[in-house]
Structure 1
Amino acid sequence: MTATSTAPATAEATAPDTAAVLAALGSADRPRPQGPLAASATFGWRTLLRIKYVPEQLFDVTVFPVMLTLIFTYLFGGALAGSVDRYLQFFLPGILVQSILMITMYTGVALNTDIEKGVFDRIRSLPVWRPSALVGALLGDVVRFALASAVVLGLGLALGFRPEGGPAGVLAAVALLLVFAFALGWIWTYLALVVRTPNAVMGWSMLVITPLTFGSNIFVDPATMPGWLQAAVEVNPVSSLVSAVRGLVHGEVAGSDVVLVLVWAAALVAVLGPLTVRRYRTRN
């Protein structure tokens, strides 16, 4: 009888007071949502934290650029320019561009992976500026691109590359490359919201980036190409980027090349930015 009679009393004593709970929850001020810049920075930091937990992501910004630089320099240098050293002065700014553009696709791969794992839906439910997850991911990858640039330039200096434009020219060239890479990343971000799997993102990205990089002036002077191919190379935005980077690095930059690259970057963001954000909001 004692156990039976005390059980209801114990339950009543431990039962939560609904009014007290609601009063406690409503007594404190709610934290203000982050602004667009702060939210974007938070998601950018999340992108960088992936490297801490998945160190293999450093492969594409370290080993991959080194491999490309060594293979093309020593494989084609003597045949195309007569000596490795001479070819290196022409080629290294181009391989710097190719190395960075080839790894921009991983922005889309990472986003599609979030979609596949359900993280995408959780992020969309947060009370933050909607595009911040996309902008933050792209900004975080810019840091990775800067690291890859440092790796390529450091290797080039060790091999004998000498930028005549000095440190200022090199920094300006890297900054211009990072701006274009950020803009190009919007293509893969939009693609990640359209296709179903990360492998599909990578496959479609390679179909786009491969002709853009190999059909440019990265490896050889377009003057040695047939007329119809020269025309295609000249309208290739990657060719404009390579010319601008090569000119800045060697102190022979043409202002028109820099302006053209900035126009291409602005056009990519202006067109694909709104399309990507719209797709991000409406995707089921």
Structure 2
Amino acid sequence: MSTMTRTPELHPAANLPTRVSLADTLSQTMTMAWRAMLKMRRNFEQFFDVTLQPLLFTAMFAVIFGGAVSGDVSSYLPILIPGLIAQTVMTACVATGVQLREDMDKGVFDRFRVLPISRIAPLAGPMVADTLRYAIAATLTFATGIAMGYRPGGGVVGLTGAIVLAVFTGWSLAWVFTWFGTVGKSAQIVQGYSLMVMFPLTFLSNAFVPASTLPDWLQTFVKLNPVSHVVSAVRSLANEGTITAEVGWSVLALAIVVAIFAPLSVRSFKRKI
């Protein structure tokens, strides 16, 4: 009597690739970015912090601090507007980490475990979509300042360069808050961590007052604060239309931030899911 041998059937997942190419990673990241864009379109509340905040903060800060810092509002606007752009972009970055933590708590990323996709795509995709929010925030801040009498000497080219730098700043710093989102135990804790980082970096900088008016010990921190370099770079682009050394130092510092916190975020994210 002969026996029939039967070859076991492999599960379809067994034929899936174990590594994802760079081209596939980019494609998957853009797919995740499109998914995030669709969520934004259906939940317009996600744009409130980058639409209402620039209007309110520009008006309030200009009226409150304009006379005390520069003697009048119009003289204060060239100092204030670039500083507010840095603060507004960083505030928008906080929402990135909080939203990530909420999605992880809801199990949104559970389905990605069994999919042959790059582990960085679910993180980088929403961050690419968030660049739209940063661009809106920077543009509205400039528009509000111009409506109040701000006249940027850099012209259209300078303003465009300042907005591009602001968007790159937001995307780079979002990796820090994304890491917070992967290590925090809840959205509330992530928001608390983020605010403790954001407020000192923005207010203890040259964003709202000249560093020369601060105590000597605080001036040292302000000069080392990377936000101060970003603010100075945005000012040089918007107010003068020049690319100074501050622009180069800002880009270098932001690149270092991405090099550190992007791998940390991916590693922590892989452990969580």
Q: Same fold (TM over 0.5)?
A: yes
The answer on 1:202 being equivalent to 2:191 is yes
The answer on 1:274 being equivalent to 2:263 is yes
Query: Do the aligned residues in 2 keep the contact of 1:246 with 1:253 (CA within 8 Å)?
Result: no
Instruction: Give the counterpart letter for 2:85 in structure 1.
Output: L
For 2:270 and 2:27, the matched residues in 1 are separated by: 20
How far 1:254 moved relative to its partner?
Answer: 5.5
What's the Cα RMSD here? 1.9
Instruction: Give the counterpart letter for 1:79 in structure 2.
Output: A
The answer on 1:70 being equivalent to 2:59 is yes
How far 1:124 moved relative to its partner?
Answer: 3.2
Mean alpha-carbon deviation: is it higher for 203-212 or for 121-130?
121-130
Query: Which stretches in structure 1 are left out of the alignment for 5+ residues?
Result: 1-21
Secondary structure at the counterpart of residue 163 of structure 1 = coil
2:82 is aligned to 93
2:6 is aligned to none
1:79 is aligned to 68
Give the one of 146, 160, 168 matched to 1:179: 168
For 1:143 and 1:152, the matched residues in 2 are separated by: 14
Larger Cα-atom Rg: 1
Query: Do the aligned residues in 2 keep the contact of 1:192 with 1:201 (CA within 8 Å)?
Result: yes
The answer on 1:257 being equivalent to 2:249 is no
The answer on 1:166 being equivalent to 2:123 is no
Task: Summarize deviations over 1:112-170 as a string: whole Å, max 9, x none.
Answer: 11111000211333222221111111111111111111111111111111110111111
The answer on 1:51 being equivalent to 2:47 is no
Task: Summarize deviations over 1:65-89 as a string: whole Å, max 9, x none.
Answer: 2111111001111121111111112
The answer on 1:109 being equivalent to 2:98 is yes
For 2:262 and 2:187, the matched residues in 1 are separated by: 20
For 1:261 and 1:160, the matched residues in 2 are separated by: 28
2:143 is aligned to 154
Task: Summarize deviations over 1:194-216 as a string: whole Å, max 9, x none.
Answer: 11111111111000000000000
Q: How many percent identity over aligned positions? A: 38
Query: Do the aligned residues in 1 keep the contact of 2:93 with 2:173 (CA within 8 Å)?
Result: yes
For 2:127 and 2:113, the matched residues in 1 are separated by: 17
Moved over 6 A (4+): none
Query: Do the aligned residues in 1 keep the contact of 2:175 with 2:262 (CA within 8 Å)?
Result: yes
For 2:36 and 2:137, the matched residues in 1 are separated by: 16
- Superposed, 1:194-233 pairs within 5 Å as 194-233=183-222
How far 1:97 moved relative to its partner?
Answer: 1.4
Task: Summarize deviations over 1:4-60 as a string: whole Å, max 9, x none.
Answer: xxxxxxxxxxxxxxxxxx9xxx9xxx9x99811111111111222222222211111
2:4 is aligned to none
Secondary structure at the counterpart of residue 128 of structure 1 = coil
Equivalenced residues, count: 256
For 1:125 and 1:149, the matched residues in 2 are separated by: 39
1:118 is aligned to 107
Instruction: Give the counterpart letter for 2:61 in structure 1.
Output: F
For 1:234 and 1:253, the matched residues in 2 are separated by: 20
Q: How does the TM-score come out when normalised to structure 2?
A: 0.89
